[in-house]
């Protein structure tokens, strides 16, 4: 986070799913930089998550790495319990974990549809459900869901991903209505294309097309999404709920 934001989240506890790499890693770093204690969730990337925790604690933050498949209700329960016992009640949940398994509709297997929806959408539902009671009890808390420009516009070859990301917008707005009266804010961020492992495999021609269609003329860096998430988590966003904030360089206009 930028210098002026230091300490804005002091005393807060954040859980960031899928924080071993990419956007989630940048979000965990930004929240820790603003003073939050951070639970770094990962699925397969044990070493990367531990390396991030070392980096964060090395710079004076409090952080722990927590394994767990967000699509598995039992693992989510366990992960949230561990976060609570190691760091305290969770104030900020960032539902960031996600995968893509692209393919044209007629060739898309059911398992590819189900896996993408399970990780992004069911994962966000399970994690939100696991933290909501604690947040409602203290009448404060923030949930931020990682949607996508694809969830707003759709994309050929990404029916599963677009459905999951559009579903997250519905989840965000429903939970904002349901939890707002109990003091909990729920928002979504909708990035365009971000330079992470998820987009690293795109052919150069596809990246060139994206640049051409993006008014800002480039892909985003993970930190440019993380700074918006950190803002939404901060007191400065106290009156924002149910919002879907595009962070897409204008691609979604
Ligand atoms: P990434 O670099 O591929 O990282 C994905 C992260 O999700 C990893 O930390 C991975 O953990 C974790 N993950 C995957 N399955 C999981 C599961 N079942 N349980 C827990 N964690 C799991 O992806 P990214 O580009 O940073 O994307 C992060 C989020 O932003 C995703 O929701 C993605 O859809 C969204 N997004 C990305 C872009 C983009 O252009 N990159 C654009 C819009 C939205 P392990 O490595 O430990 O398995």
For residue range 28-45, what is the model confidence (pLDDT) as tens digits?
A: 999 999 999 999 999 999
Ligand 1 center from residue 98 Cα (angstroms) = 4
Maximum CA extent, the chain: 51
For residue range 133-166, what is the model confidence (pLDDT) as tens digits?
A: 999 999 999 999 999 999 999 999 999 999 999 9
Which residue minimizes the CA distance to atom 28 of ligand 1?
Answer: 23
Contact indicator for 199, 155 with CB cutoff of 8 Å? no
Which residue minimizes the CA distance to atom 33 of ligand 1?
Answer: 98
d(CA 201, CA 188): 26
Mean pLDDT (whole number) for 106-113? 98
Residue 159's pLDDT is what? 98
Give CA angle at 140 (136, 146), nearest 5°: 95
Ligand 1 center from residue 192 Cα (angstroms) = 14
Ligand 1 center from residue 189 Cα (angstroms) = 14
Q: Answer whether 0.85 is exceeded by the pTM.
A: yes
Alpha helices (H) along 93-158: 110-117, 123-137, 149-153
Mean pLDDT (whole number) for 93-98? 98
Give CA angle at 5 (31, 223), nearest 5°: 50
pLDDT at 2 over 70: no
For residue range 162-212, what is the model confidence (pLDDT) as tens digits?
A: 999 999 999 999 999 999 999 999 999 999 999 999 999 999 999 999 999
DSSP 194-250: BSSHHHHTS-HHHHHHHHHHSTT-SPBPHHHHHHHHHHHHSGGGTT--S-EEEESTT
Work out the percent of the chain whose per-residue pLDDT is above 90: 97
Pocket residue to mutate for ligand 1, from 15, 19, 20, 23, most atoms within 8 A of Cβ: 23
Alpha helices (H) along 64-203: 73-87, 110-117, 123-137, 149-153, 159-179, 197-200
Q: Which residue has the tokens 């071993």?
A: 20
Atom of ligand 1 nearest to the CA of 219: 40
Ligand 1 center from residue 64 Cα (angstroms) = 19
Ligand 1 center from residue 140 Cα (angstroms) = 27
Residue 1's pLDDT is what? 45
pLDDT: which is higher, 3 or 47: 47
For residue range 212-242, what is the model confidence (pLDDT) as tens digits?
A: 999 999 999 999 999 999 999 999 999 999 9
Is 42 catalytic? The answer is no
Which residue minimizes the CA distance to atom 21 of ligand 1?
Answer: 18
DSSP state of 20: S
Using 50, 70 and 90 to split pLDDT, how confident is the model at 6?
Answer: confident
Residue 109's pLDDT is what? 98
Residue 13's pLDDT is what? 98
Residue 4's pLDDT is what? 55
Taken in order 107, 161, 32, 83, is the CA torsion positive or negative?
A: negative
For residue range 58-95, what is the model confidence (pLDDT) as tens digits?
A: 999 999 999 999 999 999 999 999 999 999 999 999 99
Atom of ligand 1 nearest to the CA of 45: 47
Contact indicator for 193, 199 with CB cutoff of 8 Å? yes
- Site residues for ligand 1, CB cut-off 6 Å: 17-24, 41-45, 69-71, 96-99, 119-120, 146, 148, 191, 193-194, 196-199
């Amino acid at each position: 986070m930028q210098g002026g934001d230091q300490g804005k989240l002091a005393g807060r506890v954040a859980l960031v799913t899928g924080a071993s790499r990419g956007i989630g890693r940048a979000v965990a770093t930004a929240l820790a930089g603003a003073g939050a204690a951070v639970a770094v969730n990962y699925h397969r990337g044990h070493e990367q998550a531990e390396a991030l925790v070392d980096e964060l604690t090395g710079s004076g933050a409090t952080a722990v790495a927590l394994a767990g498949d967000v699509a598995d209700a039992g693992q989510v329960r366990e992960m949230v319990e561990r976060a609570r016992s190691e760091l305290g009640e969770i104030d900020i949940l960032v539902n960031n974990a996600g995968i893509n398994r692209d393919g044209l509709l007629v060739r898309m297997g059911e398992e590819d549809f189900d896996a993408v929806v399970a990780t992004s959408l069911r994962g966000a539902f399970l994690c939100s459900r696991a933290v909501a009671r604690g947040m409602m009890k203290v009448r404060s808390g923030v949930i931020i869901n990682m949607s996508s420009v694809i969830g707003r516009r759709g994309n050929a070859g990404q029916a599963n991903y677009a459905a999951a990301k559009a579903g997250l917008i519905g989840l965000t707005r429903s939970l904002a209505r349901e939890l707002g009266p109990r003091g909990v804010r729920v928002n979504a961020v909708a990035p365009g294309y971000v330079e992470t492992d998820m987009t690293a495999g795109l052919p150069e021609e596809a990246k060139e097309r994206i640049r051409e269609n993006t008014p800002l003329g480039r892909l985003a860096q993970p930190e440019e999404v993380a700074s918006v998430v950190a803002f939404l988590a901060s007191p400065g966003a106290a009156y924002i709920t149910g919002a879907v904030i595009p962070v897409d360089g204008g691609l979604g206009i």
